[in-house]
Amino acid sequence: MSTPQAVRHINETRALEALRRNGPMSRADLARELSVTRSTASSTVASLINLGMVSDETNSAKRIDPQKRTGRPSTNVFLDPNYATFLGVEIGVGRGTIAIVDFAGEVIALEEYQFKIDDATPAKVAGLVADEVNQTFSKLGDKLKPASGAISIAALTDTSGHLVRSPFLDWYDIPFLEIMRSALPEVEILGIKNDADAFAAAEMHYSTKNDRENAVYLLLDTGVGGCSIVDGKILRGHNGLAGELGHIIIGDAGSAIDGDTVVNGSLESYIGRQALFKRHQELGGSANSISELLTAADKGQSSAIEALNDWAKYFGRGIASIVSILAPEDIVISGPLAPVYIRNEALVRDSLASNLVSGSHIPNFRVSNLGRNAPAIGAALIVNLELFNYNETILFGK
C-alpha cells in the first residue's frame, strides 16, 4: 500500500521532471501534464518551493514572461537554478574541461586546461584536475560551489569507476575513482563516466524527446567513442562496457596501428585522428592539424583530398555496420573530427548507402553544437539528473 509520503514523493519527482523537460509551466499546465487535480499540483508546487527546488514569478527576482492566454494570467513555476550546482570534469588526451551547471541544467562555468601526455600518470593528472577545479571554485565563490560531481574520461570504465583501459593515456587497470576522491575530497565524486556517454547525456538534455529514443552518439577524436540509446535508455552491456563502436572491424588494417593503442582493422584505425594524419602522410602530405588538412584540401592538394575521401569511405562503412545492428533514427556527431564529417557529408552518405541492403533505413545525421566541452557538461548533468530520480528508500522503505 502506498503511503502518503510515497505518493507525495512520486508527485514531486514527476513535477520536477516535467519542469526539467518542458521549462516553466503554470500550475494548471502541470496538473494536466501529471494527470492530477489542480489542488494536488498546487500542493506539490508549494512543497517544492519550501524545499527550495522550485520557484515562481511571485517569489523570485527572475522574471519569466507568462504564456499568452485569455482570462486571468497564470503564474509560471520553474526549477530554481540556485538550489544546487554540479561539477563535471573531462579528462581527454592532453587536455580537458571543467564544467559547472546549476539545478536547471544551465552551464555557469567552463574552464579548459592542458597537460603533457608524456608524464601523465593517473595520480599527477588527478592532482592537476583538483587544482584546476579549486581555481574554478574560487572564481565562483562558496555560494555556487558544487557538493558533488562526476569525471568523464576517454577510457573504458566499468560501473564501479574502475578504469579498464585508456590506451591513448597509457593507463590500464586503474582504480581511478578512488584516486580522484583522494585528490579532491571536498567534492563527492559520484562516478567515472566514459566520455561518449557523457557527451550523449549532454546532447539528450538539450534535445527534444524524439531525439532521445533511438540514437547513436559518436565522439570523433584520437579514438572513436560511441554511445547507443535504445528505446530511450543507454545500452550498457555487461558491467557497463558496451558502446565501443570505434572497435568494430571494417577491414584488414587501417592506417593508425600502434601496438595495443588501436585495434588492427577497426573503425578507429581508419578514421581516428592519428589514422587520418598517417594516411595523409602516406599519400605525401604533412598536415599537423585538422584545420591545416582541410585547408590543404580546399586548395586542391591531391594528398589531402584523397585522405579525406578515404576517411569518408571508411566512416560510411562503419556507420553501415552500426545501422545494421542498432537501426538508430539519429546519429549525432561531435569531437575534433566533426569538421571532417561536415566537409565530406555527401561522400559519407554515399558510402553508407553502398554498404547497406537496398531499401535499408538511413538515419538522420546531426552535428552537435555543444563543441568540445560536451563531455564535461554531460558529466555534470549526469549528477544533476540523480535528483530527478525516485528515492527508493522513500518509496519502499529500507
Same domain, 259 and 289: yes
395 assigned to some structural domain: no
Same domain, 258 and 355: yes
pLDDT of residue 68: 42
Strands (DSSP E) contained in 103-256 are: 107-114, 148-153, 156-157, 163-166, 171-174, 188-194, 215-220, 224-230, 233-234
pLDDT of residue 245: 80
Same domain, 265 and 349: yes
50 assigned to some structural domain: yes
398 assigned to some structural domain: no
Taking the model in full, what pTM does it have? 0.81
106-129 as b/e, with b when 16 or more CB fall inside 10 Å? ebbbbbebebeeeebebeebbbbb
186 assigned to some structural domain: yes
Positions in the chain whose pLDDT score sits under 50: 1, 61-72
Q: What range does the domain containing 21 cover?
A: 4-80
Q: Is the separation of the CB atoms in 286 and 297 below 8 Å?
A: no
* Contacts of 184 by beta carbon, 8 Å cutoff, 6+ apart: 126, 129, 130, 133
Identity of the residue numbered 366: R
**Spatial CA neighbour of 15 closest among 60, 80, 97:** 80
pLDDT of residue 70: 44
304 assigned to some structural domain: yes
239 assigned to some structural domain: yes
Same domain, 68 and 96: no
**Structural domain count of the chain:** 3
d(CA 223, CA 269): 9
How far is the first Cα of the chain from the last one, in angstroms, to the nearest whole number? 15
pLDDT of residue 158: 80
pLDDT of residue 296: 93
Domain boundary among 80, 114, 133: 80
For 163, list phi and psi in degrees, rounded to 5.
-85, 115
pLDDT of residue 66: 40
